[in-house]
């Protein structure tokens, strides 16, 4: 299988305050593991800048202008207590969006089997009209709209296994039955959304987990909620909001997943994608704040995308 890796140095230049969990070292840690022989066969490309027109498929233009206008010339500026911009943050967010667009094109044109975008800031908390939860633009939602508008796809799915609910993706997809959103996440936890009762037009599938839950409960949720609803939806492209903060080492939440659980869910999603859409998967980094947990679980996720399995170090 051919797996594309998209990243860009600008994504490391997005600065947050000292002690903020969403920090440049996250991508430095991932860049470190990409040096290992396990990742030799990745096809690496620099993420292009996403265009404002492409972002406007998921966000109103006055929202995009507001974000552009908040970019500081120096120092860092708070959009809310969690969400910050530094002079390079706009470029980083445009690279994140551009990575998803390029990944979508490469997968849909058959240049590669699947793709992983190693990017920050993350995107799944960004609602159509609101930056929050470290997120400026909703990169997975932009990629889904791009696949639909530019390639004529009728059904695109986003599956989100970040420990936090992707309120932003849910918000953008809410009234659009041709866009599927399925999420496992801890509840109660930031951002507070993600109840089973939130179903949109019958296209939203939330499978909340409780603090302390581990692999057994996670796999049960995926098997009972995510996989059957995905099978019924029959996506033509599967996008993953790949957050690794449900890892047992993560400081922001209290689930107890391990690398094996991330390998398992990746294989499950590859099975679904091979049934419905010739295996076409675009995976985009969201959270994951313990560097060791992030490196191990994200590395495993990418190895499974590359090989359909993974090697222990």
Active-site amino acid positions = 125
Q: Which is nearer to Zn ion, 253 or 281 (CB)?
A: 253
Query: Closest approach of Cβ 293 to Zn ion, in Å?
Result: 12
Query: Closest approach of Cβ 237 to Zn ion, in Å?
Result: 23
To which residue do tokens 């969690």 refer?
82
- Both structure tokens of 175: 């009234």
Q: Which is nearer to Zn ion, 127 or 245 (CB)?
A: 245
- Residue nearest Zn ion, Cβ-based: 287
Of the ranges 155-163, 183-191, 217-225, 269-277, which one interacts with Zn ion (CB under 5 A)?
Answer: 155-163
**What string marks each residue from 10 to 49 as x (binds Zn ion by CB under 5 A) or -?**
----------------------------------------
Q: Can you tell me which of 145, 148, 164, 185 binds Zn ion, judged by CB under 5 A?
A: 164
Q: Which of residues 269-288 bind Zn ion (CB under 5 A)?
A: 287
| Distance (Å, whole) CA 170 – CA 164 | 12
Distances (CA, A) of 82 to 19, 20, 87, 125, 205: 12, 8, 17, 11, 26
Query: Closest approach of Cβ 9 to Zn ion, in Å?
Result: 23
| Distance (Å, whole) CA 57 – CA 128 | 10
113 near Zn ion, judged by CB under 5 A? no
Q: Which of residues 191-250 bind Zn ion (CB under 5 A)?
A: 243, 245
Residues that bind Zn ion (rule: CB under 5 A) add up to a total of: 5
Distances (CA, A) of 267 to 32, 125, 219, 302: 24, 25, 12, 11
| Distance (Å, whole) CA 52 – CA 101 | 12
Q: Which is nearer to Zn ion, 155 or 164 (CB)?
A: 164
| Distance (Å, whole) CA 62 – CA 221 | 38
Query: Closest approach of Cβ 208 to Zn ion, in Å?
Result: 14
Q: Which is nearer to Zn ion, 107 or 269 (CB)?
A: 269
Q: Quote the radius of gyration of the chain (alpha carbons, Å).
A: 17
Query: Closest approach of Cβ 213 to Zn ion, in Å?
Result: 15
| Distance (Å, whole) CA 97 – CA 48 | 9
DSSP 252: S
Query: Cis omega before residue 188 (within 30°)?
Result: yes
Q: How far apart are the first and last CA of the chain?
A: 21
Binding site for Zn ion (CB under 5 A): 162, 164, 243, 245, 287
């Amino acid at each position: 299988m051919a797996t594309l890796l998209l990243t860009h140095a600008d994504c490391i230049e997005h600065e947050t305050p000292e002690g903020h969990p969403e920090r440049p070292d996250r991508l430095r840690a991932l860049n470190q593991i990409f040096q290992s022989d396990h990742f030799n066969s990745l096809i690496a490309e620099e993420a292009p800048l996403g265009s404002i027109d492409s972002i406007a498929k998921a966000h109103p233009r006055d929202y995009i202008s507001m974000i552009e206008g908040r970019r500081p010339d120096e120092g860092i500026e708070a959009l809310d207590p969690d969400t910050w911009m530094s002079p390079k943050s706009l470029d980083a967010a445009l690279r994140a969006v551009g990575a998803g667009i390029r990944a979508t094109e490469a997968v849909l044109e058959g240049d590669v089997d699947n793709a992983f975008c190693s990017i920050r800031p993350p995107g799944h908390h960004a609602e159509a009209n609101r930056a929050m939860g470290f997120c400026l633009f909703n990169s997975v939602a932009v990629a889904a709209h791009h696949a639909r508008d530019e390639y004529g796809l009728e059904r695109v799915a986003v599956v989100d296994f970040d420990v936090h609910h992707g309120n932003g993706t849910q918000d953008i997809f809410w009234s659009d039955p041709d866009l599927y959103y399925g999420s496992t996440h801890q509840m109660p936890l930031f951002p507070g959304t993600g109840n089973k009762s939130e179903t949109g037009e019958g296209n939203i599938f939330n499978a909340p987990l409780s603090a302390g839950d581990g692999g057994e409960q996670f796999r049960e949720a995926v098997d009972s909620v995510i996989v059957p609803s995905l099978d019924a939806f029959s996506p033509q492209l599967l996008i993953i909001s790949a957050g690794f903060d449900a890892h047992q080492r993560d400081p922001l939440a209290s689930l107890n997943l391990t690398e094996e659980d991330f390998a398992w869910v990746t294989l499950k999603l590859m099975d679904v994608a091979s049934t419905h859409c010739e295996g076409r998967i675009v995976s985009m980094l969201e959270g994951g704040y313990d560097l060791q947990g992030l490196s191990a679980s994200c590395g495993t996720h990418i190895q499974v995308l590359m090989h359909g399995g993974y090697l222990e170090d």
